[in-house]
Amino acid sequence: MTAVLCAAAIVAATIGPFWRIREVSVEGTHHVSVDTVVSASALDGAQTFMASAARARERLVRLPAVRDARIEITVPDRARIAVTERVALGRWVAAGLEWFVDADGVLFSSIDVRAAPEVRVTDERGARQAGDRLDPALVDAALKLARLGPNDLRADATSPHVVLAAGANGLVLRTAAGWEIRFGGAERIDEKIALARRFLRENPQKKLDYLDVRTPDTYVVSPAS
């Protein structure tokens, strides 16, 4: 009987109101707020012996800006969350909304609008939402193009901006002068950039509508003469 009573007391203490997590500390956040992390973890107020660090991690990595999380639960009433956030490499604009994008191609938002480089790509293929995952190679190629400036191309390549077109042109760098460079897909992007730069360097005054380097072994230019 004594053993039964002791077991019952242990169970009652374990699942009762006394052993609950009452303090959740969070570190490593910049893109997401501490309150968002605590809420998503569902640890605050949870029964200490029933709370699961693994389940809390699963919930946290569903936040688009969170790459990983480490959780420690300690008796009697504490939990510690260390968040690893995604690193923004640039900005991805789609349907009028701007997202941050990382090396894995994941789109996410941030409470700090300044927490990404001022390098933008406009996706004309349709709307996007936080958590969408793009082809990392495509993102890398697009951001390489977005970092190009007039000094990398030629003097009249003013205000260059990169778009991802819905059609066969793919990645396109457009200039305020009214001409553009069509790069197509992400494959062999460095060779395509080198070809475009060589043509522009050799033809600094040529009137252009477009320069097509989608096939990096050759180019097509309009007007042709």
| Whole-number percent of the chain with pLDDT over 90 | 89
**Contact between residue 106 and residue 64 where contact means Cβ atoms under 8 Å apart:** yes
Same-fold call for 2-85 versus 90-222:
no
Q: Is the pLDDT of residue 13 over 80?
A: no
Q: pLDDT tens-digit profile of 35-52?
A: 999 999 999 999 999 999
Which of 108, 116, 128, 111 is closest to 66 using CA atoms? 108
Q: Is the pLDDT of residue 194 over 70?
A: yes
| Whole-number percent of the chain with pLDDT over 70 | 92
Amino acid at the residue 136: P
Q: pLDDT tens-digit profile of 107-139?
A: 999 999 999 999 999 999 999 999 999 999 999
Q: Is the pLDDT of residue 18 over 80?
A: no
pLDDT attached to residue 224:
87
Alpha-carbon distances, residue 182 vs 174, 191, 196 (angstroms): 9, 13, 9
Q: Using 50, 70 and 90 to split pLDDT, how confident is the model at 19?
A: confident
Least confident of 15-19, 87-91, 220-224: 15-19
Q: pLDDT tens-digit profile of 52-101?
A: 999 999 999 999 999 999 999 999 999 999 999 999 999 999 999 999 99
Q: Is the pLDDT of residue 162 over 80?
A: yes
pTM: 0.87
Q: What is the mean pLDDT of the chain?
A: 92
Q: Report, as an integer, the average pLDDT of 140-150.
A: 97
Query: Is domain 90-222 given the CATH code 3.40.50 in the classification?
Result: yes
Residue extents of the structural domains in the chain: 2-85, 90-222
CATH topology of domain 2-85: Ubiquitin-like (UB roll) (3.10.20)
pLDDT attached to residue 225:
74
Q: Is the pLDDT of residue 212 over 80?
A: yes
Q: Using 50, 70 and 90 to split pLDDT, how confident is the model at 9?
A: very low
